[in-house]
Structure 1
């Protein structure tokens, strides 16, 4: 039995609501309530990237679209036990490449100030002004 299964990334891989909900709860401290991820992804997403070690989901990011030129990177998450290993960066890079092949012209991302270095590293994204309203 392999104690260190290979890390693999996939675009639009089938997911199970419980596994994505559990990953979000582990990373963001949620209550673990199961959310309807598969339904949301099917309805609103251009695609999503999963990162797995063996069968275990350890990373995820979602790309939603306006149906035209714009896409939005959301829900970039890596299990706390695997953070700081480059998995988050790889999720974002995979999402960017898939968006290019889908002919999206603009990929937007917003983030908390403490994550700026992650998203702005190596000139992947450039800073813009944006607004947000909590409803």
Structure 2
């Protein structure tokens, strides 16, 4: 049985950049990796997961610690996907939320990933109350 190590410490800059590059999320290069790393270091809570010394997964929470909570940047290295690592990371985040008495947890997910989050108890927003966004380029 493979045992992975979870850490509440931020990964190194290089480890973070290498994992983030596997996602394609910064394809337009809107942000530098210095900016992205600064963002994760400003998070309310985060989880890193390792296979021995190899950084293989990450996610974080942005929150005021009381009312507003948003999970973002759920990443699992492609070589480790579909092995339960995303679930492990999410369960760690949700446990932290429960332990701090947060009651409303939000997230946005990539197209086609809804079923993963539904298995963890998330429901889609009511079509009559969709989320909104504003994007500056």
Q: If the length of structure 2 is used for normalisation, what is the TM-score?
A: 0.80
TM-score (norm 1): 0.81
Higher strand share: 1
What is the Cα deviation at residue 95 of structure 1? 0.4
Q: Contact conserved, 1:23 with 1:79, CA < 8 A, in 2? A: yes
Alignment counterpart, residue 117 of structure 1, candidates 115, 118, 132:
115
| 1:92 aligned residue | 90
Confirm or deny that 1:6 pairs with 2:7: no
Closer/same/farther in 2, CA of residues 47 and 14 from structure 1, 3 Å limit: same
Which structure 1 segments of 5+ residues have no match?
A: none
Residues 1-135 of structure 1 aligned to structure 2 (within 5 Å): 6-10=3-7, 12-28=8-24, 30=26, 34-36=33-35, 39-43=38-42, 45-122=43-120, 124-128=121-125, 129-135=130-136
More helix by share: 1
DSSP-derived class of the 1:130 partner = coil
Does structure 2 retain, via aligned residues, the 8 Å contact 1:64–1:74?
yes
The alignment of Structure 1 onto Structure 2 pairs a total of residues equal to 129
Distance in 1, matches of 2:133 and 2:33, equals 26
Shift of 1:47: 0.6
Whole-angstrom CA distance in 2 between matches of 1:41 and 1:29: 15
| Structure 1 residues 44-87: Cα deviation after superposition (integer angstroms, max 9, x where no partner) | x2210111001111000010113431210000000011111110
**Runs of 5+ consecutive residues of structure 2 not aligned to the other structure:** none
